[in-house]
Every structure is written in C-alpha cells, then in structure tokens.
Amino acid sequence: MPLVTTADMFRSAYEGGYAIGAFNVNNMEIIQGIVQAGQALRAPLILQVSKGARAYANHAYLVKLVEAAIETTGLPIALHLDHGPDYATCKSCIDGGFSSVMIDGSHLPYEENVAETKRVVEYAHAHGVTVEGELGQLAGVEDDVSVNAEDASYTKPEQVQDFVGRTGVDSLAIAIGTSHGAYKFKPGQNPQLRFDILEEVGRRLPGFPIVLHGASSVPQEFVKQINQYGGALDDAIGIPEEMLRQAAKMAVCKINIDSDLRLALTAALRKHLAENPGHFDPRQYLTPARAAIQAMVEHKIETVLGCANKI
Ligand code: G3H
Ligand code: 13P
Ligand code: ZN
C-alpha cells in the first residue's frame, strides 16, 4: 500500500466522532513504536516530520523509514510536513514524496497568510497532496520559533470561512488554548480550552476537519520518573485528556502529539540506564524506549483519539 493523504482519514474521523493521531517522528525507533501501536489497535496514523526532524535525520532517511513501516504493517499512513515554514519547504516535501503538508503562516499578517497558503495549495493539489493551514497562534516552542503566552492569540471564528474559501486548504489548525512543548501550564493553573471557539468554527465550516496542535498531556508519572533518574525537568501540566477526547468528538480530526512521546522515551531510557549501568549496547536501552513509545501511542489511541479499529 502506498502512502495515503489525510482526505479519507478525516472524512471518516469527522463522521465517526474520533480523531487521527499525528505523531512527530525523528528516528527509526520512534517510527517503529508508533506503528506497532497502530498495528496492535488497528488505527490509521499520521507520521509528521518537522523542519528540525528533516535537519536531524535527513529527508530521504525519514521517507524510506516510513515506507518500510507501511511495507511491514500494511497500515494506512500519511506522511505529513509539520509546521512547514514556507513555500520552498512545502514544495521540497511534496516533490520528495510526502502525502500531506502544513504551511504555517499563522505568524504572518492575515493577507500574507492567505497568499502563501493558497500558493502551497495550488502546487500540492496539482500533485495529489493535502494541505493544512493555520489561523491563530499557539504559545510555546516549535523548531526555532518561540511564542510567549502574551503573544499567543485565539483563532477568530469570523475569519475561518474566508480563509478556507480563498486558500482551498483541506484542514485548518486553530488556537483554542493548547500550546507547544512540555511546559504548558504551571502547577496550580487550571487548563481550559475555548470550546466555544471550536463550536463556532464547526458551525461556520460544517464537515470541515479541524486540527489541534500542542495537544500533549504531560503525564506526571513520566516527569517524576525522569527526575527520579537524574533529570531536571520543571513541574508543569499539560492538556487534560478528557478535554482532547471531547474535542475529537467535535470537529477536531487531527491531534498533534510530540512532547508526550519525548517524555515517555526519555523516562524509559533514564530508568533503564540507571538500573543497568553496565549497558552500552544501544539495542539494550532503545528496546524499552521503543516499547514506551508504543505504550504511549496505544494509550492515546484508546483514551484521547478514539480511533482504534477504524481500518
Ligand atoms: O510543534 C513542534 C513539534 O513538537 C516538533 O518539534 O520542531 O523540535 O521537531 P521540533
Ligand atoms: P506538543 O508539544 O503538545 O506535543 O505538540 C506537538 C505539536 O503540535 C506538533 O506540531
Ligand atoms: Zn504544532
């Protein structure tokens, strides 16, 4: 089976009241852990690659690894560019075999976001590739861009029809209170998502797939485990999983998760090395790290996404 686009996945997800997990990938073990979870629970998957991941692992390696994942599992998998910073990067991913791209013009003035997104859509659609755009700005850190909480801004529902109509995007990322990274809210804060904005966006764009970025929940057991075995993470809380589940039952069809995978992998790695100080064969410590990724993705599929047994 070749790579699939997100079009059919999102149609079924919208109708079925569930979401597809979009997991960031940087190396073989992360890809294997994610697809083993998808295989175990018969879940469609989006594997997404950031600009930083391409710089780290090399575009060609990532494409070949994802092709190998499809060959060995037979799963429907979309390979997606996460936070495409410009037209050139999107074009390079489209030419280089991705089935889906995001053009992130959320930091641009509105008209420039429309123009850049439309340009990417025209090229992508001519090559059978789906496109995600973004309106509104999340707080947090992604690649080399850091957005302070004060500079973050919720999506304006009154802009979404104009944006989708003029650009032709296939899905839209919106800002309703999620944020990137492991430090979303301080202990004692009460995370809230703006479901009123999501509802209004859904009303204005019936049947249209919405995307949530910054949707990690920062499980406390992993933060504790990392710190117990020599780490030094600050205390923080993420997005409550029940809120994400609720969003997935609404118009949200794609939920982006990266930080929780990083935490799960690092916690397993630190524990293993602390308990086995004599180990220096990467296969010894990457085996539990890969298993931790699989367990985390299975947990997300079952409790947050609701996409088990959808293939
Ligand atoms: O939103 C950003 C993702 O977590 C990717 O992170 O740019 O460090 O690869 P990265
Ligand atoms: P998290 O940092 O919450 O995992 O978000 C990841 C993301 O949005 C990737 O685009
Ligand atoms: Zn993101």
Q: Is 158 helix (H, G, I), strand (E, B) or coil?
A: helix
- Alpha carbon of 203 to ligand 2 centroid (Å): 26
85-128 pLDDT, tens digit each: 999 999 999 999 999 999 999 999 999 999 999 999 999 999 99
Q: How far is CA 22 from CA 14, 205, 245, in A?
A: 15, 22, 15
311 domain residue, yes or no: no
Q: What is the pLDDT of residue 259?
A: 98
Question: How many domains is the chain partitioned into structurally?
Answer: 1
Q: What is the pLDDT of residue 142?
A: 64
15 domain residue, yes or no: yes
169 domain residue, yes or no: yes
User: How much is the average pLDDT of 206-222?
Assistant: 98
Quote the tokens at residue 201. Answer: 């966006």
CATH number at residue 150: 3.20.20.70
2 domain residue, yes or no: no
Q: What is the pLDDT of residue 1?
A: 72
pTM (2 d.p.): 0.96
Q: Is 117 in the pocket of ligand 1 (CB under 6 A)?
A: no
Query: Taking 70 as the threshold, does the pLDDT of residue 149 lie above it?
Result: no
Catalytic residue (choose from 8, 82, 143, 281): 82
Domain interval for residue 133: 7-305
- Name the least confident of 4-18, 95-109, 150-164, 193-207: 150-164
What residue owns the CA closest to ligand 2's atom 9?
256
Reported as a pLDDT band with limits 50, 70 and 90, residue 63 is: very high
Catalytic-residue membership of 151: no
Q: Is 6 in the pocket of ligand 1 (CB under 6 A)?
A: no
- Give CA–CA dist 221/299, Å, rounded: 14
CA of residue 287 relative to chain centroid, distance = 23
39-52 pLDDT, tens digit each: 999 999 999 999 99
Q: What is the pLDDT of residue 145?
A: 60
Name the β-bridge partners of 102.
132
1 domain residue, yes or no: no
Query: Taking 80 as the threshold, does the pLDDT of residue 254 lie above it?
Result: yes
Q: Please state the atom number of ligand 1 nearest to the C-alpha of residue 140.
A: 1
User: How much is the average pLDDT of 227-232?
Assistant: 98
127 domain residue, yes or no: yes
Query: Which mutation among 20, 23, 24 tests ligand 2's pocket best, with the greatest number of atoms within 8 A of CB?
Result: 24
Reported as a pLDDT band with limits 50, 70 and 90, residue 151 is: low
Q: Where are the beta strands (DSSP E) in 9-56?
A: 20-24, 45-49
- Give CA–CA dist 296/168, Å, rounded: 34
